[in-house]
Amino acid sequence: MERPFAAFGPDHLAVLGVMSILAAGLALMGRRADEKTRASTCAFLGWALVGYAMASHGYRFFHQTWRCLDCLPLQLCDWVLIACIIALFTRNSLASETAYFFGLTGTMQAIITPDLQKGFPSWPFFRFFWGHAGIVLAIVCILAVQRFRPRPGAVWRMFSLINFYAVFVGGLNAVFGWNYGYLCHKPSKASLLDHLGPWPWYILSIEFICLASFLLLCLPWRLRSQQSPRKF
């Protein structure tokens, strides 16, 4: 029987626990597996994310609830999803950087404070965590299995891309009255945005948080490369 979603309730904590165990397993496998196993794991996760996208849109089409208002691939998590799929199948450097920086900055926040109304075992609950937890596991796979490392200039490249996203999607929101990326107003559920000021000031706050997060996410490689400095 469906029940309202409660942040950090039993359902939410169970998902976080399972996701953590799977992530630890991927990290351990990345150290010990052979190349064939690595490739198979990446392909499996890639197809799992493709399956999520197909199931998500197929469900809405079947139930006649697909709308431009909230079903176009214009959420930041959608961009991360696409980047993860490309990275898992091709190891493309730009896709891997986008998945890593955008995913750990935005998707993790979404998992911790989900914008959900219904809990387990509703379809919105499964759909949300299939996609978002799948992205986190894909990022772990990109790091541990594919052994991704950010290229020089990655921080400023990603900061430019996040600003392109805000301008591009924000422009579409303004024209069509949408709210992709929560660029026009905050989500109905409690989230980090509630502590960042009113619109539009919380968008400026997000800019600083993104830049600080990107710099922090590059810190491990900065520390490793102190003997031969590189710009990230």
In a domain, 3, yes or no: no
Q: Is the pLDDT of residue 184 over 90?
A: no
Average pLDDT over residues 17-29: 91
Whether residue 200 is preceded by a cis peptide bond, meaning omega within 30 degrees of 0, is: yes
pLDDT number for residue 180: 92
Average pLDDT over residues 2-24: 87
pLDDT number for residue 52: 94
Token pair for residue 170?
């924000």
Q: Is the pLDDT of residue 2 over 90?
A: no
Buried b (16+ CB within 10 A) or exposed e, 130-156: bbbbbbbbbbbbbbbbbebbbeeebbe
Token pair for residue 116?
């959900």
Q: What percent of the chain has pLDDT over 70?
A: 94
Q: Report the distance separating Cα 32 and Cα 22, nearest Å.
A: 15
Q: Which helix (H) or strand (E) holds 156?
A: helix 154-176
- Rounded to 5 degrees, φ, ψ at 4 are -60, 145
pLDDT number for residue 230: 54
pLDDT digits (tens, 9 = 90+) for 61-111: 888 888 888 889 998 889 999 999 999 999 999 999 999 999 888 788 788
In a domain, 33, yes or no: yes
pLDDT number for residue 166: 93
Name the nearest CA neighbour of 7 among 106, 103, 109: 109
In a domain, 4, yes or no: no
In a domain, 73, yes or no: yes
Average pLDDT over residues 177-206: 82
Q: Is the pLDDT of residue 190 over 80?
A: no
Average pLDDT over residues 161-184: 92
pTM of the model as a whole: 0.88
For 198, residues 6+ apart whose C-beta sits below 8 A from its C-beta are none
Q: Is the pLDDT of residue 200 over 90?
A: no
For 157, residues 6+ apart whose C-beta sits below 8 A from its C-beta are 94, 97
229 pLDDT band, cuts 50/70/90, is: low
In a domain, 5, yes or no: no
Least confident interval from 124-128, 153-157, 202-206, 226-230: 226-230
The domain tally of the chain equals 1
Q: Chain-wide mean pLDDT for the chain?
A: 88
Q: Report the distance separating Cα 170 and Cα 15, nearest Å.
A: 32
pLDDT number for residue 98: 95
What residues make up the domain containing 24? 10-224
Q: Report the distance separating Cα 125 and Cα 199, nearest Å.
A: 28
Q: Report the distance separating Cα 143 and Cα 121, nearest Å.
A: 31
Q: Is the pLDDT of residue 224 over 80?
A: no
In a domain, 61, yes or no: yes
In a domain, 128, yes or no: yes
Q: Is the pLDDT of residue 201 over 60?
A: yes
What's the length of the chain?
Answer: 232
pLDDT number for residue 66: 87
